[in-house]
């Protein structure tokens, strides 16, 4: 189990690394080729990406965990039915977003995210290709989840690496050589996802592939799919709301410079997500399989190794940020006027993201131990606690705006500990 854990973890880390580098380097390229307003436009558009990711968690991530359970029990009939329903749902959602947001209401979609005149046009130019490419986003995430659980984490790793490599190369081609501006960055991401999807289709030609379309099953599974993915989806939708509200609060409190600094800090979060996403992907997939087998010892081993790895990774990341904040700011094209505020904010957020990662990982553990109510509570609290804290600090102590996340996560941890003890929760595998 130890060997399998590390094999799956490093494959998941490669997947997360590719996505992380794609987002971070994308911001660096835009910052240097277009300027601070380009980085700000990307950050203002992030709630839309997070919203799509939320819907993917509801329809594909939860389904992926059920596929893992079915695979462990060798219930291939249920596995194929769940896979079929999940993929159809993801594609339908992607098409709906493309038609409604990208074709019918592009101005309204942009206005919802940005009411600043100087940032409205670049935000719109970046947003439209993203909305039109929603089916590619949805299918990329869905297929990578399913193929990974079905035994092809390395193929998924390669596909996403190539996806992001293509994205970064096309960034330069579309922005610098074709003159597409900020829209070129968004278009490059969509094309990269299409390339990644094409590569992952190789999984369907493997002899041990279990991902076949089938509509034959004794009962409907959408309730189980949504129920399984609900805590993760709720956490993601709350994060969508948090990104939306935080952008509004920071923009109104700290102006254009503030939203740029906030964008750089959110790119820092991508580095933490590199380790968090890889660890949680491993914990979800291998953990679900062990639950299906009823192997409690192997399950606990996976949990211990997951938390040990993520702790070391976060501490190293935080130390690097504290030593080199100015270098990080300059990578994203920060002006001399923005550097002091950027340095301060980066150091504060480097600390703030540590409790965030622990809270998210603990939520996965509660879910796998069938503590659904606690997992759902954490899903809500993970982001919704930050919004009122951010609003209060912005209104009454704006000089301490960047400490809002750290304060909120401290409150959340205290609430989780208290509720856990009061409820006498015990970690036992569901039978």
pLDDT digits (tens, 9 = 90+) for 201-247: 999 998 888 888 888 766 677 777 777 777 667 767 777 888 889 99
Residue 327: predicted pLDDT: 92
Under the banding of pLDDT at 50, 70 and 90, the label for residue 300 is confident
Region 307-315: mean pLDDT is 90
Q: What is the pLDDT of residue 387?
A: 92
Of the listed ranges 130-139, 398-407, 411-420, 422-431, the least confidently predicted one is: 422-431
Query: Among 2-16, 132-146, 333-347, 381-395, where is mean pLDDT lowest?
Result: 2-16
pLDDT at 64: 85
pLDDT of 88 over the 80 cut: yes
**Sign of torsion over alpha carbons 29, 266, 116, 393:** negative
Could you tell me the pTM of the whole model? 0.72
Q: Which of 13-27, 91-105, 280-294 has the highest mean pLDDT?
A: 91-105
Q: What is the Cα–Cα distance from 323 to 42, expressed in whole angstroms? A: 26
Span 297-315, average pLDDT: 86
Predicted local distance difference test score (pLDDT) of residue 297: 75
**20-54 b/e (C-beta count within 10 Å ≥ 16 → b):** bbbbbbbbbbbbebbebbbbbbbbbbbbbbbbbbb
Position 17 scores a pLDDT of 61
Domain segments of the chain: what residues?
2-422
Measure the CA–CA gap between 414 and 223, rounded to whole angstroms: 32
Amino acid 31: pLDDT: 86
Q: Residue 56 above 70 pLDDT? A: yes
- Rounded mean pLDDT of 242-260? 89
Lowest mean pLDDT among 11-25, 42-56, 213-227: 11-25
Per-residue model confidence as pLDDT tens digits over 357-398: 899 888 888 887 778 788 878 878 877 899 999 999 999 999
Give 11's pLDDT tier (boundaries 50, 70, 90): low
Does position 70 have pLDDT exceeding 70, yes or no? yes
State percent of the chain over pLDDT 90. Answer: 39
Q: For residues 333 and 327, what is the distance between their CA atoms, to the nearest angstrom? A: 10
Mean pLDDT over residues 275-296, rounded?
Answer: 76
Q: What is the CA radius of gyration of the chain?
A: 21
Cα 169 to Cα 150: distance, rounded to the nearest angstrom? 30
pLDDT, averaged across the chain: 86
């Amino acid at each position: 189990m130890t060997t399998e854990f590390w094999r799956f973890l490093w494959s998941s880390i490669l997947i997360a690394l590719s996505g992380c580098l794609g987002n971070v380097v994308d911001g660096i390229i835009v910052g240097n080729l277009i300027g601070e307003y380009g980085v700000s436009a990307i950050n203002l558009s992030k709630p839309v990406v997070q919203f799509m990711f939320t819907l993917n968690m509801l329809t594909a991530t939860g389904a992926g965990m059920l596929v893992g359970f079915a695979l462990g029990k060798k219930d291939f009939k249920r596995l194929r039915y769940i896979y079929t329903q999940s993929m159809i749902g993801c594609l339908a959602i992607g098409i709906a977003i493309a038609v409604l947001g990208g074709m019918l209401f592009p101005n309204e979609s942009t206005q919802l995210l940005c009411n600043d005149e100087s940032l409205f046009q670049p935000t719109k130019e970046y947003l439209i290709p993203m909305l039109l490419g929603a089916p590619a986003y949805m299918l990329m995430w869905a297929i990578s989840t399913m193929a990974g659980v079905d035994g092809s984490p390395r193929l998924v790793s390669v596909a996403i690496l190539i996806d992001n490599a293509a994205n970064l190369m096309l960034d330069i081609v579309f922005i610098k050589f074709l003159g597409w501006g900020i829209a070129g960055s968004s278009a490059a991401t969509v094309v990269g996802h299409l390339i990644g999807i094409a590569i992952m289709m190789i999984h369907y030609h493997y002899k041990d592939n279990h991902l076949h379309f089938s509509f034959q099953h004794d009962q409907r599974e959408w309730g189980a799919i949504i129920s399984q993915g609900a805590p993760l989806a709720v956490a993601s939708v709350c994060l969508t709301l948090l990104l939306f509200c935080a952008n509004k609060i920071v923009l109104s409190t700290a102006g254009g410079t503030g939203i740029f600094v906030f964008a750089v800090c959110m790119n820092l979060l991508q580095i933490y997500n590199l380790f968090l996403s890889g660890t949680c992907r491993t914990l979800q997939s291998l953990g679900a399989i062990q639950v299906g087998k009823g192997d409690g010892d192997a399950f606990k081993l996976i949990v211990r190794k997951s938390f040990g790895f993520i702790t070391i990774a976060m501490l190293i990341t935080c130390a690097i940020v504290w030593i080199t904040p100015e270098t990080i700011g300059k990578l994203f094209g920060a002006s001399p006027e923005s550097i002091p505020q950027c340095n301060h904010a980066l150091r504060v957020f480097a600390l703030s993201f540590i409790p965030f990662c622990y809270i998210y990982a603990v939520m996965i553990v509660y879910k796998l131990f069938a503590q659904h109510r606690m997992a759902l509570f954490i899903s809500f609290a993970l982001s919704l606690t930050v919004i009122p804290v951010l609003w209060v600090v912005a209104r009454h102590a704006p000089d301490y705006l960047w400490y809002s996340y750290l304060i909120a996560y401290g409150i959340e941890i205290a609430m989780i500990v208290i509720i856990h003890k009061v409820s006498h929760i015990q970690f036992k595998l569901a039978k």
